[in-house]
Amino acid sequence: MTKLRLFFLLFLAGLSLFWALSQSRVYGIENPQLTGNPAAGKLVFHASGCAGCHRAPNSPQDDQMILAGGQKFQSPFGTFVAPNISMDPDFGIGSWTFEQFVIAVRDGVSPKGDHYYPAFPYNSYHYMTDQDIADLWAFWQSLPHSDRTNDTHDLTLIAQWRRPLGFWKMLYFPTKWQAAPTLSDVEARGHYLVQALGHCAECHTPRDIFGGLQVSEWMQGAPNPSGKGVIPAITREKLKWSADDIAAYLKSGFTPEYDVAGGKMAEVIENLAHLPNEDLNTIGVYLTSIK
């Protein structure tokens, strides 16, 4: 066997291995016929911050349910642009099935089988319960249409190829949700709201050079992807707020020092303020339990 032929065979073997390991893997949902409750889904919608990223830039409060997309998010890999995820069947996701919605939200895979970029926080949404995602989809059916066309991401050359995201998922994709056995029922509910729906760690935890969360520095604060300032730590020792302080902040936007939330956090609070006070209190209880 000549060296050239050996090289060619090794190249083909390596390419085949790369293609197999980087393919999209989906977990889906056990019961695709699960019935959702739109009223409960509205709370999941607000807790998950869908409008905060996907409504059109500078759109008024009354238009927050029109998920036309267009907001830009800077990162070390370039600028991501939120897509239209309204119920328009041509420009949004109105033609999707429930199962396609589940696979997109929890597995980060499009109906065409392509990887989504983890700027879409499916690593956190992967923890959503089957019932919550069924409720969310039931509410989604009531959302308005938008015929806004999607802008393309402005990414570095190496980030434009989605296929290697299969390896990224192998490194960082979460395991099945398990609440810590030491948590009380109230803390466990707060844990779920913070980690799964609220995806707080996606901003408040620093990332490594590949964009994965550095779990050893969980909620310890992180550089702002825009390059302006830092996103603060929200652990008990560094935040130094009480559970009531946190709940009041998430409801009103006012800190205990009477400062006002700004930037993207203002949009987060705009969504979380729709949650019942009981849920906001559980978030406060959980965050004050993080050591």
Beta strands in the chain (DSSP E): 72-75, 78-81, 154-155, 222-223, 230-231
pLDDT digits (tens, 9 = 90+) for 103-114: 999 999 999 999
* Residues 211/118, Cβ–Cβ less than 8 Å: yes
Residue with tokens 């690593």: 123
Residue ranges of the chain whose pLDDT lies below 50: none
Calpha distance 13→285 (Å, rounded): 53
pLDDT tens readout for residues 131-165? 999 999 999 999 999 999 999 999 998 889 898 88
Residue for token pair 């109906």? 111
CB–CB of 123/27 below 8 Å? Answer: no
Q: What is the total residue count of the chain?
A: 291
- Return contacts of 220-227, CB within 8 angstroms, 24+ apart: 225/73, 225/74, 225/75, 225/76, 226/74, 227/74
What is the rounded distance in angstroms from the CA atom of residue 194 to the CA atom of residue 184?
Answer: 15
Residue 217 burial by CB count (10 A; 0-12/13-18/19+): exposed, middle or buried? middle
Cβ neighbourhood burial of 195 (10 Å; 0-12, 13-18, 19+): buried
Distance of alpha carbon 97 from alpha carbon 102, whole angstroms: 9
Q: Which ranges in 49-115 belong to alpha helices (H)?
A: 50-54, 98-107
Tokens for 13?
A: 């073997």
pLDDT of residue 182: 76
* Contact partners, residue 288, CB within 8 Å, separation at least 6: 236, 241, 242, 243, 246
What is the longest distance spanned by two Cα atoms in the chain?
A: 77
Residue-level pLDDT at 27:
78
